[in-house]
Amino acid sequence: MKSLEMKNKNILLGVSGGIAAYKSCELVRTLVKAGANIDCILTKAGGQFITPLTLQTLSGNPVHTDIFHLTEETDVRHISLADKADLILVAPATANIIAKVACGLCNDLLTTVICATKAPVLFAPSMNVNMWENPITQDNIEKLKKYGYHFIEPGEGMLACGYEGKGRLAEINTIANTAKSILE
């Protein structure tokens, strides 16, 4: 395996609302250890699974949860985050977030930043096997791939919902190495 070196790379990690959100903590640790600067956007649904404090502690940076904080910002947050990123990584990427991006819907900070960025975007899907196999989800993924978005295939096995099949978040090292290859 290649050495995981991402010194001075700015990765924006989007954490959406799936049970695999807890694995984003290990992902942040892995990327920070590789030298990357990690900013996190935690969606409202993602915040039902993990806390901003956890991601802030692991990344060493404030966690962004809302599209507007008028009392705190002097810049346009979604633009500054979009411009700063060398890579946007969405892990876990739910069927919902994939669908919103595929339709160009910008109704939260994460989807707005993705729409505003020129950086590559990498999705690491995680969802129920039936959601993964749904033809609409697959069409959305194919549509985004045609626009140049990157995807990591989910793993197979026992899912948190009790189903078995494809839909598990890819292994953390697989996600980190794929991110590194896109950044090279």
Determine whether 161 is an active site residue: yes
Alpha carbon distance, N-terminus to C-terminus of the chain: 16
CA atoms within a 13 Å half-sphere pointing along the CA-CB vector of 55? 28
Catalytic residue selected from 25, 106, 115, 161 = 161
Of 98, 84, 96, 80, the closest CA to residue 141 belongs to 98
> Maximum distance among all alpha carbons in the chain?
48
Dist. CA 139–CA 175, nearest whole Å: 22
Amino acid letter, residue 54: T
Distance of CA 122 to the CA centre of its chain: 7
Of 114, 88, 116, 108, the closest CA to residue 44 belongs to 108
Amino acid letter, residue 172: I
Enzyme catalytic residues? 161
